[in-house]
């Protein structure tokens, strides 16, 4: 419940854009509409993903303290368990 206002503020516009979009993002060949182009769909999907990730990455000051605390705990647990793996430690929560 703590994250809902944060997510609405941070990625609400991206989600609305996805819901309003007429371009398919389907990549499964078995589910593609006749004549659909997976390359076009993939480009659309990646655009949405990059926009959403950018919105989240650029909003650390808006992230609720409770979530920041949980992310810190998660990062510490990963660091304790995989102390030699720099990639895991730095990628769990950025």
**How high is the mean pLDDT in each 10-residue block of the chain (94 residues)?**
92 95 91 91 96 92 91 88 79 67
Q: pLDDT value at position 10?
A: 95
Q: Give the closest residue to 16 by CA, choosing from 24, 8, 5.
A: 8
Say what the pLDDT of residue 75 is: 86
Angle between helices 3-20 and 38-57 (to 10 degrees): 150
Per-residue pLDDT at 11: 95
Question: What is the pLDDT, as a whole number, of residue 42?
Answer: 96
Give the per-residue pLDDT at 38.
93
pTM of the predicted structure, to 2 decimals: 0.71
8-state DSSP, 82:
S
């Amino acid at each position: 419940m703590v994250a809902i206002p944060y997510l609405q503020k941070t990625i609400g516009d991206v989600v609305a854009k996805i819901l309003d979009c007429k371009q398919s993002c389907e990549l499964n060949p078995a589910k593609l509409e006749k004549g659909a182009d997976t390359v076009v769909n993939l480009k659309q999907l990646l655009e949405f993903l990059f926009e959403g990730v950018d919105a989240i990455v650029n909003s650390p000051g808006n992230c609720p303290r409770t979530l920041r605390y949980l992310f810190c705990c998660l990062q510490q647990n990963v660091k304790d368990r995989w102390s030699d793996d720099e990639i895991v430690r730095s990628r769990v929560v950025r």
